[in-house]
Structure formats: C-alpha cells, structure tokens
C-alpha cells in the first residue's frame, strides 16, 4: 500500500532525462512527491555539460530550466554519490517508493573491424568527453599530430567532432572547452578531416542545421563529392516521400557543398557517402596508417535502404580514426538488461522482467537507458513525462512498494556518513560561481574544472 504522503522517488542521474523527470513529478499537485536526485559526478547536467559541443553554447541554456527544478519544494540533490558504490540499489529500496534510472548511454558502439585496437583509433565519444572536461577522461591522451583524420559515421556526434577538429584554437579558446583540450588542439597537425557515411545523403543521420554549419566554418573548406551526393533511384524515391522541409533542405545543402572546391582555408573537411570501414591498417609501428573502405550501393531490405558492398575497395592514408557509430547503454547492477539494444527492458518507463514481461514494482527508467541513444535533448522531455506518468499512475493505484524507512532523514544521514565529499546543490552553485567567475576574466562562458578533487575543493571554497 502506498502511504498518503509523500511518495519518495530517487532519480539516478542528473542529466536532461533526470531533470525533465523530476520536473514533471514535482510540478503536479495531485500526488505529493519528494524527489532525491543522485549523481555520480560532483557536477550536474550530464550530456549538456559533457556531450554538447563547446561551440554550441546556446543549447546549454536548457540548464536554466534544470536550475528551476532544483528550486522546487521537495527536491534534494546528492552529487558525487555513485549508486552501486556509495549506496546500493537494495539500500535505496529501503528508503524510496520508486527508483528511476536516467543514467544515459555511457559506452560506445564498436565497428567490429580489424585494426580497431591500433593506437590512433578512438571512440568519438571519448574525444567528446575529453574536450568537454569530463573528469574520467581528464588524463586521456590523443596524438593529434596526424595530417588526415577519418571520422566514421554521419550522425550529429560525428559532425560535432569533425567541426571541432576544424576550428582554430582561437575559436575554441572563446568557448567553455576544457583548457587541456584547447591547448592540445592548438598544437594539432590536422589539416584534413573525412566524414565517412556507409549509406547515402538521404539516409544520413545528421540534421540539417548541423551539416549547414560545416559549410560555414571560418578556417575549413567543407566539400562533398558530386558522384556520392547524387541520388540513386531508391534514394530519390525515398526523398520524394520526405515532407519535413528541414530534412529536404539537407540534400540542398549537400548538393551545394558538392559544387565547392578548396579556397585555401587552413583545413579541409570532406563528407563522403556510400563507404564502409573494412579495416584500419597498421603503419608498421602499431599505429593507424590508413583506412580501407569498401564502396557500397543501396538496396532495399525489409523496407529499409541498406548498404551492400560493390566489391570496390579504397585505401585512404589517415593517422587518426574516430568511430562515431553510436553510444550504448551499460548494464545497471540489479536491473535486467537488453544486450542487443543496450537498454533496460521497459514498458512506458516501467522496468520489466524480460522472462515474464511483468513490471518490476518501483523500478523505472527514462532517457537513453530507456529508449536508446536517439534524439536531441528535448526528446527527453516527452520520454521522461511518460515515465513520470507511469510513476504517478502506480502511486495512485497503490502499486508502489512501501519502503521500510520513508521519512527522508535516514537516507540523508546514510549518504552523509558514507560520502564526506558529498556535493549538494548549494555546493554545486559554488563550483558554478568559481567556473563562471574565471570565465568572465577570460572572456569565456566558464573555465571548467576537470578533476573531481578540484570540483570538490571549489564546492567547499567559501563555506
């Protein structure tokens, strides 16, 4: 039986899905709710801080909405607390009626080709986390001395990485990119960036504003090859069915890039289509020296257009490869996991037992760990609302498990006893002040602190 008030919900993960979920739960008055948000890192915002590109400052304004959530009655924030380490799921179940995981997709997909382990072959997600100052990636080294780089995949992450590699250090130095990355990129020897898509332009996963931005880079010429941008009959038929004007415009943008030639800018970014990575070739020293790609044609299979090899192979000398073929969720101890999809099995946010299909009472998911790594930040809003509705419905129907301790005090004491470096919301505001104050002096949005110890110290600064 669910007690009358309040229903206590633990939200695990302080990224967009976590905040949208907390907001939806706390902005209704039908069911009295208290939300405790747990975040592994000392800083909140998840992929808004560690995924959104530093030169996309406006996208980060969404954090203003998250800050409003933090001010809602019934909200508490426990930063620098790892569920599974500092406190276990079983322990949380003794204190909460509902536990919602919004931990995202913290790993990356692999290409599964020979040579993927060579030095100079990296996941794009690692580079992104490194340049955005994620503490786990603070000491990662990238040898950026190569002249030519291949980025595999044509999603928005690939576009972000290609664009960042084409920006000048002066441009990057005006953003909130982590200092260590600005300095490393200042020394970059990269002159040519190749973006490699295995299917055609109509199937490209990037969105139109993102690819348009590539054509507007100050220090890099962006090009496409006319023969690869030209639509085959199957793509032309698919294109004819697209109604979204923005999606249609994507092809115009690519056609325009295909008319361009080099103008003498310092760098060149070439978008390639219908090429699949086959192998990363060792340069003889254990480093990537080239990439072998197989040319493709498109064929229809089960209603989708898929790449089929033509048998033609091209070897392109490259010294660095970033695979950007998608993020992947990691299993959460104590919850079932769908290995194929990299998500937690669920129905409308209710975690389900894969064997029986039955909901596991009191366990929920939202965001990428629920639906997979797709969509933009805003996509998490309706996704989280669905999960919030499931929690509220289960609360109304008295289907939530009743914890042994539900005052909220005992879990607070437990966490404080276990984590002396706990970062509360007030502590985070001190970190934020330190970063933005340093940013003001430097003419930047903020200067990020990138080590857990630095963050914790800043959170204690004037307390």
Residues in contact with ligand NAP by CB under 6 A are 111, 152-158, 160, 197-199, 203, 205, 210, 276-277, 324-327, 373-376
Decide: 396 and 133 in contact? Cβ < 8 Å.
no
Q: What residue is closest to ligand NAP based on CB?
A: 155
**Of 162 and 325, which has the nearer Cβ to ligand NAP?**
325
Minimum distance, C-beta of residue 377 to ligand NAP, in the bound complex (Å):
7
CB count in 10 Å sphere of residue 290: 20
Q: In 3-state terms, the chain is what percent helix, strand and coil (to 5)? A: 35, 25, 40
425-442 and 452-460 helices, crossing angle to 10°: 100
Q: How far is the CB of 340 from ligand NAP (least distance, A)?
A: 14
CB of 117 to ligand NAP, least distance (A): 16
DSSP secondary structure, 308-371, as one string: EEEEEEEEEE-SEEEE-S-EE----TTS--BTTTTB--EETTEEE-TTT--EEEEEEE-THHHH
Strand, coil or helix: 215: coil
| Closer by beta carbon to ligand NAP, 46 or else 197 | 197
DSSP state of 71: T
Q: How far is the CB of 209 from ligand NAP (least distance, A)?
A: 8
CB of 155 to ligand NAP, least distance (A): 2
Give the nearer residue to ligand NAP in terms of CB position, either 111 or 456.
111
Q: How far is the CB of 194 from ligand NAP (least distance, A)?
A: 13
Please, which residue, 96 or 327, has the CB nearer to ligand NAP?
Answer: 327
Integer CA distances (angstroms), 103 to 7, 41, 131, 343, 439, in order: 22, 12, 21, 10, 29
In terms of DSSP bridges, do strands 33-39 and 121-123 run parallel, antiparallel, or are they unpaired? unpaired
Token reading at 227: 């023969």
Q: Which is nearer to ligand NAP, 15 or 155 (CB)?
A: 155
d(CA 444, CA 48): 17
Look at residues 373, 169, 159 and name the one whose alpha carbon lies nearest to residue 269.
159
Extract long-range pairs of 169-173: CB within 8 Å, 24+ residues apart: 171/55, 171/218, 171/219, 172/54, 172/55, 173/444
Backbone angles phi, psi at 255, to 5 degrees: -60, -40
Question: At closest approach, how far in Å is the CB of 229 from ligand NAP?
Answer: 15
Comparison of 299 and 376: residue with beta carbon closer to ligand NAP: 376
Question: Among residues 50 and 66, whose Cβ is nearest to ligand NAP?
Answer: 50
Minimum gap (Å) between residue 395 Cβ and ligand NAP: 31
Smallest separation, CB 301 to ligand NAP (Å): 12
Task: Give me the half-sphere count of Cα atoms (radius 13 Å) on the Cβ side of residue 353.
Answer: 7
Closer Cβ to ligand NAP, 111 or 395, answer by number: 111
162 three-state secondary structure = helix
Residue 38 neighbours by CB distance under 10 Å: 26
If the CB atoms of residues 192 and 213 are measured against ligand NAP, the closer one turns out to be 213
By C-beta, is 325 or 422 nearer to ligand NAP?
325
Measured from the CB atom, the residue of 46 and 403 that comes closer to ligand NAP is 46
Nearest-approach distance from CB 124 to ligand NAP, in angstroms: 7
Two tokens, residue 400: 């939530």
Beta-carbon-side half-sphere exposure of residue 369 (alpha carbons within 13 Å) = 28
Helix (H, G, I), strand (E, B) or coil at 378: helix
Distance of closest approach, residue 431 Cβ to ligand NAP, in angstroms: 25
């Amino acid at each position: 039986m669910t007690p009358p008030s309040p229903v206590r919900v633990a939200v695990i993960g302080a990224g967009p899905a976590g905040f949208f979920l907390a907001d939806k739960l706390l902005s209704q008055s039908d069911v009295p709710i208290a939300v405790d948000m747990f975040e592994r890192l000392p800083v909140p915002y998840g992929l808004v801080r560690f995924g959104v590109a530093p030169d996309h400052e406006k996208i980060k304004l969404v954090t203003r909405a998250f800050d409003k959530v933090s001010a809602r009655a019934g909200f508490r924030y426990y930063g620098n607390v790892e569920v599974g380490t500092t406190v276990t799921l079983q322990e949380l179940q003794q204190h909460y009626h509902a536990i919602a995981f919004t931990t995202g997709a913290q790993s990356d997909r692999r290409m599964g080709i020979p040579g993927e382990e060579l030095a100079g072959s990296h996941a794009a997600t690692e580079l992104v986390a490194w340049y955005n100052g994620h503490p786990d990636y603070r000491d990662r080294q990238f040898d950026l001395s190569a002249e030519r780089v291949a980025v595999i995949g044509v999603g928005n992450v690939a576009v972000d990485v290609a664009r960042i590699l084409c920006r000048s250090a002066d441009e990057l130095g005006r953003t909130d990119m982590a200092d260590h990355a600005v300095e490393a990129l200042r020394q970059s020897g990269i002159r040519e960036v190749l973006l490699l898509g295995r299917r055609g332009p109509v199937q490209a996963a990037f969105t139109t504003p993102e690819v348009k931005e590539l054509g507007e880079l100050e220090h890099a010429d962006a090009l496409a090859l006319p023969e690869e941008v030209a639509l085959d009959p199957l793509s032309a038929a698919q294109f004819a069915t697209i109604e979204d004007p923005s999606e249609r415009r994507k092809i115009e943008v690519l056609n325009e890039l295909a008319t361009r030639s080099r103008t003498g800018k310092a760098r060149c970014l070439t978008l390639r289509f219908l090429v699949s990575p086959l192998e990363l070739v060792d340069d003889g020293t254990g480093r990537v020296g080239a990439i072998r790609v197989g040319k493709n044609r498109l064929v229809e299979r089960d209603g989708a257009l898929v790449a089929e090899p033509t048998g033609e192979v091209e070897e392109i000398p490259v010294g660095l490869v970033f695979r950007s073929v998608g993020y992947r969720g990691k299993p959460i101890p104590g919850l079932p996991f769908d290995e194929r999809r990299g998500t937690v099995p669920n129905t409308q946010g209710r975690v389900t037992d894969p064997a029986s299909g039955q909901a596991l009472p009191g366990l929920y998911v939202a965001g990428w760990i629920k639906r997979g790594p797709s969509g933009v930040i805003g996509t998490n809003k309706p996704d989280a609302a669905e999960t919030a509705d499931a929690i509220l419905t289960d609360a109304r129907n008295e289907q939530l498990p009743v914890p042994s301790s539900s005052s909220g005090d005992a879990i607070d004491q437990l966490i404080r006893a276990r984590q002396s470096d706990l970062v509360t919301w007030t502590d985070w505001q001190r970190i934020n002040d330190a970063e933005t104050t340093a940013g003001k002096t430097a003419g930047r949005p903020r200067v990020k602190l990138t080590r857990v110890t630095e963050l914790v110290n800043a959170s204690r600064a004037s307390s």
